[in-house]
Amino acid sequence: MPAASNTMTNTVLITGAAGFIVSNVAKEYLSAAPEARVIVFDKYKGDDLAQEHLRPYADRVEHVFGDIRDKALMRDVVQTYRPQEVIHAAAITHQAQLERDDPSVFIDVNINGTVSLLEAVKADSGLRRFVYVSTGGVYGEPSERSPAGPQGEEGPFDPPELYAVSKYTSELLVRRYGKLFGFETLRVRFADVFGPMERATGARTTLSLPYGMMRAVLEGRTLKVSSSALDAKMDIISAEEIALAFTRLLLQPGLPHDVYNIASGQHLSIRDLLEAFRSVEPRFSYVETTTAEADVTADPSLTRGRYNAYDVSRMRDLGWQPRPLKEQLERYRDWVAHDPVNRCPATSPARS
């Protein structure tokens, strides 16, 4: 590990930054904070796409490869780079088969990995803030306690799968460590996300509906959507919009809350999403079909809990506003068009 430089005024350690969402956060933050340096920590060395993504800021980016569960390594990383802020996103996302085959891996990576990092930073007097990247999955399946209006940060909470369970557990651990050891903590929860840098990785196998729509265009095929799915609803947002919101949080010297939803705040039907994409990409087409034949299936009765629109009033109070959905989709289409093979590689069609 190289000796750390102290010429930059702000150093941010980002775990999982070779992946999807936080790679966009890293790029936007580097653009908005020219004095900042980012330490990218990831188990995977990343593909050419990951290297290309941050290349414009290569002089302010350092890469460290390793396992978040390695306590000695994490202590070494923290002591070497002395980050003022930590963004912890390294995790294994929900995979149904993996949950059945090896359920303990979600506990080991997502919870023990978080504790490993918390133990490394707890004695570092230079740490100002620890940001934990969580998920809207912590709001769980719809129940009688779920709000009919937009889902707020106050819950209720009923995480179903081990991924969401591990995320909520880690949220509580981060909050408690911050109180015990005197550093600020921030937790962020996302709704459904699409956009630049999305692709299948070792930690992520479930891809967004816009990814599936883009693949259909590239393959010259019509996307098959079950009739019932057309009326199903979601709150969906581009990773670019999340990066803008996230950067706004990072640049705030003080925040009135310690947890924020980042989402569109709108309940959009799959039909409306398909039509929005067709309006910006004329080559796209879809057809209604049976559930058995469909590429895209979804249950229209699921409208509350994690399937709800998310309350983003806390973010709006900070002056953040996402761009219109059509513009988000158009930007994603244009990003893919520059290198379709690598930016939207072939995979199984997305299922909601």
Q: Where are the alpha helices (DSSP H) in the chain?
A: 21-32, 48-53, 71-81, 96-101, 104-106, 113-121, 162-181, 209-219, 239-251, 270-280, 313-316, 325-337, 340-343
Closest CA to 71 of 123, 106, 24: 123
pLDDT of residue 6: 42
Residue 211 phi, psi (nearest 5):
-60, -45
Q: What is the pLDDT of residue 202?
A: 65
pLDDT at 307: 96
Closest CA to 175 of 258, 297, 73: 258
pLDDT at 9 over 70: no
- What are residue 38's DSSP bridge partners? 12, 61
**Mean pLDDT of all residues in 253-274:** 96
What does the block give as tokens for 135?
A: 């998920």
Q: How many CB atoms lie within 10 A of CB 254?
A: 5
- In the DSSP assignment, the letter for residue 305 is G
Return the number of other C-beta atoms located less than 10 Å from residue 236's C-beta: 22
Name the percent of the chain lying above pLDDT 70. 95
Pick the most confident of 51-60, 96-105, 171-180.
171-180
Distance CA 156, CA 170 (A): 17
pLDDT at position 45, please?
Answer: 74
The 10 Å Cβ neighbour count of residue 53 is 19
pLDDT confidence of 351, banded at 50, 70, 90?
very low
Taking residues 219-232, report their average pLDDT. 97
Q: How do the domains of the chain map onto residue ranges?
A: 10-192+237-262
Question: Using one digit for the tens of pLDDT, what is the confidence trace for 61-78?
Answer: 999 999 999 999 999 999
Mean pLDDT rounded to a whole number for the chain: 93
CB-based contact 74:116 (threshold 8 Å):
yes
Angstrom distance (rounded) from CA 179 to CA 177: 5
Q: What is the second-level CATH architecture of the domain 10-192+237-262? A: 3-Layer(aba) Sandwich (3.40)
Mean per-residue pLDDT, 82-87: 96
**H/E/C letters for each residue in 47-70?**
CHHHHHHCHHHHHHEEEEECCCCC
* pLDDT > 50? residue 272: yes
Full DSSP string of 265-287: ---EEHHHHHHHHHHH-TT--EE
Asked whether the predicted pLDDT for residue 125 surpasses 90, the reply is: no
Q: What is the pLDDT of residue 135?
A: 97
**Cβ atoms < 10 Å from Cβ of 114:** 26
What pTM was computed for the model? Answer: 0.93
Separation between Cα atoms, residue 38 and residue 25, nearest integer Å = 11
User: What CA–CA distance (Å, rounded) separates 183 from 101?
Assistant: 37
Of the candidates 117, 114, 126, which has an alpha carbon nearest to the alpha carbon of residue 82? 126
Q: 129-133 and 85-88 as β-strands: parallel, antiparallel, unpaired?
A: parallel
Q: What are phi and psi of 118, to 5 degrees?
A: -60, -40
Render pLDDT for 317-349 as a digit per residue (tens, 0 to 9).
999 999 999 999 999 999 999 999 999 998 744
Q: What is the pLDDT of residue 203?
A: 62
The HSE-up count of residue 59 (CA atoms within 13 Å, CB side) is 6
User: Do 46 and 120 form a contact (C-beta atoms < 8 A)?
Assistant: no
Position 303, amino acid: T
Pick the range with the lowest mean pLDDT from 1-15, 39-53, 120-134. Answer: 1-15
* Maximum average pLDDT range among 86-95, 197-206, 216-225: 216-225
